[in-house]
Amino acid sequence: MEKIKIFDTTLRDGEQSPGVNLNLAEKLVIAEQLEKLNVDIIEAGFPAASKGDFQSVQQIARTIKNSSVTGLARAVTSDIDTAWEALKDGAEPRIHVFLATSPIHRQYKLKLSKEQVVERAVSAVAYAAKRFPVIQWSAEDACRTELPFLAEIIEEVIQAGAQIINIPDTVGYITPNEYGEVFQYLKNNVPSIDKVSLSTHCHDDLGMATANSLAAIENGATQVECTINGIGERAGNASMEEIVVALHIRNDHYQERTRINLKEISRSSSLVSELTGMVVPGNKAIVGRNAYAHESGIHQDGVLKEKTTYEIISPELVGYVNNNNMVLGKHSGSHAFKTKLQELGLQVKEEDVKNLFIAFKDLADHKKEISDEDIIAIVLENKLAKEEKYYELVEVKVQHKNDNEADAIVKLSGPKNELIIQHGTGSGSVEALYNTLEMSMSGQVTLNDYRIQSLGAGRDALAQVFVRVQYDQKESTGRGLDQDVLIASAKAYINAINRAILAKEQFLEKV
């Protein structure tokens, strides 16, 4: 039984999802979770794209030890040089070089002939081989490329030093049968194909990304490129959780395995959802909230008698565990808190435990029982709290008038630690709050998106707010977490502004 390698591109292709903008701290938290998930390869970003991307890839490569870290590069020497500088300190540096091959891309995007495309691809791979021990080459839009030409260019890049060949369905166009035939054609028509590993990278524009990825595995692919929750460009990528659980549950059919720690799937899904602001649909396979729910009377009756009548996947398999052995509250001590951290598998530095316990006790003073989700949120917020802050929330007061108008007063600590006090109004609490916050800050702000969801259940559940704003012509996202919806809203807004200012300063440094 051959092991299928999982190449996770949540931090590269996944972050290209419209409206998603992860900072260094958030990317590092996700990368550490992917390492716990036992991902084989983490595509940490596109180092040449920006200073921020370079720093993120470099930091992840230096931190992650049990997964190989890679970065994307165009078939351009400067991209390859930048990727090497970002990745050279990693446990197993590898590069992912891509070049479009389809007629439509050659004509309209590259404006190159077939011969010129081959020459550029070979030159880039040969150049990368001087530094990188592992080179992956991707034929962008491979599934709309003439098969004879695809076979020709693949043979050439193998001879130049590529060890992994990726055949992406870049625009989500192909069907499973057709995709399998592409792999079979290449195996029969590329003389050196047995010297390399074949990889699949499928987009979900026609809803066939998972099916296509599994078809590729059936036809010789030994690496699958995918993302947590299937996030990515346009309609997204193939969902990692769907592929690995399908290989596990239907092992009788696929006869393949991965090294993924299935019990970390639910936490990985929740983490990516929280940090990207992309809510997982309730009916999402494997990780949706309804994936293991049964409403039909006939279904309920069957499940009560024997779960496997209607449940082919147990929620425990992917990490959904209802463990109520130890309920934490305001009377719980530090020992019980530490035990809960260990029980949840949360890796916390000893010097951080004290601050986490203080945050836990503060929440416990307002909440009767602390859920596992609350503990995980406290740890996550602590990891992300170290990012630079230009504005900090001191106090919020919102009051409604009789005419449905609301008054808001906010106190902020400004960029030079000055106290900023501002008063404003609006037709509702959130509008009044955001109008007042905008007046408190220099620069024009446009709110493009505002979302709120509860973390856990009950009337005392934590509120999590996600916003997307336009600040001085720079789009930015922010998150806020608090028991009070308005404070969570204020934190999210301020977080977005802080991130926009930081991104602008980094851009000016680069210039």
471's enclosing H/E stretch is: strand 462-471
The predicted structure's pLDDT at residue 506: 65
Find which of 303-312, 361-370, 433-442 is predicted with most confidence, using mean pLDDT.
433-442
Query: Roughly what angle, to the nearest 10 degrees, separates helices 114-128 and 147-160?
Result: 30
Q: What is the pLDDT of residues 430-462, one digit of tens each?
A: 999 999 999 999 888 999 999 998 887 778 888
446-450 contact pairs (CB < 8 A, 24+): 446/470, 446/471, 447/493, 448/19, 448/475, 449/19, 449/277, 450/489
Domain boundaries, the chain: 2-276, 334-384, 392-510
What is the residue-averaged pLDDT of the chain?
Answer: 91
Query: Which of 3.40.1160.10, 3.30.43.10, 3.20.20.70, 1.10.569.10 is the CATH number of 2-276?
Result: 3.20.20.70
Look at the alpha carbons of 316, 319, 320, 325 in this order and tell me if their dihedral is positive or negative.
Answer: positive
Looking at this protein, which amino acid is placed at residue 261?
N
pLDDT category of residue 300 using cuts at 50, 70 and 90:
low
Average pLDDT over residues 366-370: 77
Closest Cα partner for 397 from 440, 445, 429? 429
**Class of 392-510 in CATH:** alpha beta
State the Cα angle at 135 between 132 and 141, rounded to 5°.
145
Q: What is the pLDDT of residues 87-143, one digit of tens each?
A: 999 999 999 999 999 999 999 999 999 999 999 999 999 999 999 999 999 999 999
Closest Cα partner for 209 from 241, 246, 250, 239? 239
The predicted structure's pLDDT at residue 13: 97
The predicted structure's pLDDT at residue 511: 40
At 176 the three-state DSSP class reads helix
Does the pLDDT value for residue 325 go beyond 60? Answer: no
Looking at this protein, which amino acid is placed at residue 205?
D
How many other β-carbons are positioned within 10 Å of the β-carbon of residue 163?
Answer: 17
Looking at this protein, which amino acid is placed at residue 245?
V
Q: What is the pLDDT of residues 169-225, one digit of tens each?
A: 999 999 999 999 999 999 999 999 999 999 999 999 999 999 999 999 999 999 999
**Helix/strand/coil (H, E, C) string of 301-369?**
HHHHHCHHHCCCCCHHHHCCCCCCCCCECCCCCHHHHHHHHHHCCCCCCHHHHHHHHHHHHHHHCCCCC
pLDDT category of residue 347 using cuts at 50, 70 and 90:
confident
Query: Which residues are CB-neighbours of 301 under 8 A, at least 6 positions away?
Result: none
